[in-house]
Chain A
Amino acid sequence: MVEPVLRLEAIRKTYNPGTPVEVEVLHGIELELGKAEFCALMGPSGSGKSTLLNVMGLLDHPTSGRLFLSAREATGLDDRALTRLRGRSIGFVFQYHHLIPAFTARENVLMPMLVDRGWPDAAMRSRADELLESVGLARWRDNLANNMSGGQQQRVAVARALAMDPPLLLADEPTGNLDTKSAQGVFDLMREVSRSRGTTVLVVTHNHALADQCDRIVELVDGQIVRDHRR
């Protein structure tokens, strides 16, 4: 059996444990994502989507349960090891504040490689250029992030998320504040990336039209998976 890219076993997340305001937002999540799978994560506000995404992205620790990334267990790793694993295995696309405004498009794409290796070099630059080319923004590479449209910024963010060629790409409402045309463009781009690179993609979205175009829809309500629909 092929090992899934991401495997969650009985993931629970409790905020403010041991206090009167203790609240459990994830109640034993079990989930596997296979290679090159393109999955939508849906659910009403407050259902725990963002928390689940943060746990999957190793940005937040689950209170209990186990998490495996490409067969490697990530629960129990210290901050340094988690940071390294996150940088190399997971690409993020956020809804807002996608890029670092002090840097150009090319530098933003370069940043994950720079953070990982410490010093910039020619190979990194050509990889960044290649990625920008693949998202159709080669012309804009020297523009500062703030001087681009929302759709362009989100394309740069996708290119950046792919810089380390991660097996898993997590997107938190990546099209949430884009017009329909730009949203479809960014979505198509991620779809294309998943196909051509074999990247597993999990997209949190409220947009049913876009979710319907995914291979799989996972629905979360009150911290539990209520529907897992493969197409």
Chain B
Amino acid sequence: MRDWLPFEWIAASRFLREGRLQTVSIMVGVSIGVGVIIFMSAALSGQQANIVKRVLSSQPHIVLLPPQEAARPLRGDVAQAAIVQKPLQRMRSIDQWQKIIEELRAMRPVAAVSPVASGPGFAVRGEASRSINLQGIEPESYFKIVPLEEKLVAGATRLGAQDIVIGTDLASDLGVEVGDKLNVRVASGLGATLTVSGRVDLGSKFVNQRTAFVALHTAQALLGLAGGVSAIDVTVHDIYAAEDVAQLIGASTGVAADSWIKTNAQLFLAINAQIVANTTIRFFVGLAVAFGIAAVLIVSVVQKSREIGILRAMGASRGQILRVFLLQGAALGLVGSLAGSALGAAAILLWGELMRNPDGTPLFPLDLDPKLFAAAALLATLTGLVAAFVPALRGSRMDPVVAIRG
């Protein structure tokens, strides 16, 4: 019995120690519950971060596009057209794009901004030709959005006026290597002969078959966009706020801005569904833990009814008895969650060791976030407190006469 411990702590710890088997059993139960929650949370956030990273590392978070051309109405009420032909969407530049870029760079949620001039074209080599998506970029700003250096398979990411960096599958389809010449043509008939300076793997065969990067001014010249850009790519600090930032950009610049959340709606829905499923499972595991603690304490209150009666006869107040059992609940939750955190962490490390890609890298990185452990400990303690409330109230309301009689 320590001098710095109040009566309630002393009684709670002794009661827990006395019912050793019950205490150990429920603590194992709480530990497994917390361990599962920790592991699932880490797995979920790791997996999500991995998917999002894979998807977003080869595309911007927000793209600003020039406005669509709309059919102009006839002047006056002369006639009503029965058929309205949709206007052709010519390649157009975003007006005042330099000014918009300055404006975007000043925005706090924005991490990087880069102008792009992109359009369709053909890569021709001898008899072979492939349709390509020609991307004219400013390397220094674009690499902050899509780190092409990291995706480089061969050569360099150098992009001078005569250079071209292509996807690995496009290179093999056309049989070109780094240093070879490649003819690039566009629909208008314009063309240029460029030198392959690098091959990149963008993570998808489809994208690798048709992507080609050139310097911005090379693309502008080929696509007839002298001095203009067809899109502005943006990355933001908080990827899940991309849609809000896109709307903010749209409102302040007047240019249509699409976020990755909108353009990858299916992926975002899938991630959300996963979060909902995970939260549901965690909620029910937490509920099972709470009922386990409550069950043990209900039994404990019945077992300890004589002691409760004696303590009440000795002058222990209802509040003191209530706190003795609330503390037991909180202690079961806290200690169980600490053991559960260790269990969860061990499972995460074991998972990292056992589940690996064929190349030996981890299947996906699991997130060992200290905040997760702190949250689990806090939540488990609160769960213990809440679960203990009913049994504690029952104990505190016991009639001492009945309790002593047992």
Contacts and interface: CB of A to CB of B under 8 A. Distances in A.
Contacts, number: 77
Contact of B318 (A54, A79, A86): A79
A117 to B, nearest CB: 8
Contacts of A115: 7, 311, 314-316, 320
Contact of A103 (B14, B306, B406): B14
Which of B5, B310, B320 is most buried by chain A, counting CB atoms within 10 A of its CB? B310
Nearest to A122: B3
A102 B14 contact: yes
B307 interface: yes
A110 B313 contact: no
A119 to B, nearest CB: 5
A121 B3 contact: yes
A106 to B, nearest CB: 9
Contacts of A120: 1-3, 5, 7, 10
B61 interface: no
A16 to B, nearest CB: 14
A68 interface: no
Interface in A45-76: 54, 57, 59-60
A223 interface: no
A112 B3 contact: no
Interface residues of A, number: 33
A132 to B, nearest CB: 15
Interface stretch (A31-39, A87-95, A209-217): A87-95
Interface string B294-326: 000000000000110011111111101000000
Contacts of A79: 318
A101 interface: yes
A60 B317 CA distance: 15
A101 B6 contact: no
B17 A102 contact: yes
B18 to A, nearest CB: 4
Given A79-B318, A83-B317, A120-B10, A107 B401 contact: no
A164 to B, nearest CB: 8
B400 interface: yes
A57 B313 contact: yes
Nearest to B308: A100
Contact of A100 (B5, B311, B317): B311
Contacts of B390: none
Given A118-B6, A120-B1, A120-B10, A86 B18 contact: no
Contacts of A112: 314-315
Interface string B99-134: 000000000000000000000000000000000000
Contact of B401 (A59, A83, A86): A59
B378 to A, nearest CB: 27
B400 A59 contact: yes
Nearest to A161: B314
A115 B320 CA distance: 8
A165 to B, nearest CB: 13
Contacts of A60: 401
A231 interface: no
Which of B17, B310, B314 is most buried by chain A, counting CB atoms within 10 A of its CB? B314
Given A94-B310, A97-B406, A86 B315 contact: yes
A99 B316 CA distance: 15
A105 interface: no
Given A100-B307, A100-B310, A102-B15, A116 B404 contact: no
B18 A102 contact: yes
Contacts of A121: 3
A148 interface: no
Contact of A87 (B6, B14, B314, B404): B314
A102 B10 CA distance: 10
Contact of A97 (B6, B17, B404): B404
Nearest to B316: A115
A84 B316 CA distance: 8
Contacts of B15: 102
B95 to A, nearest CB: 76
Contacts of B7: 114-115, 118-120
Interface in B1-25: 1-7, 10, 14-15, 17-18
A164 B313 CA distance: 13
Interface in A159-178: 160, 164
A181 interface: no
A84 B313 CA distance: 10
4 smallest CB-CB distances across A and B, nearest first, come from A87-B315, A102-B14, A102-B18, A112-B314
7 contacts: A79-B318, A83-B318, A102-B15, A102-B18, A120-B3, A120-B7, A121-B3
Given A59-B313, A92-B310, 10 more contacts: A59-B400, A80-B318, A84-B315, A84-B317, A86-B313, A94-B404, A112-B315, A115-B7, A115-B311, A121-B3
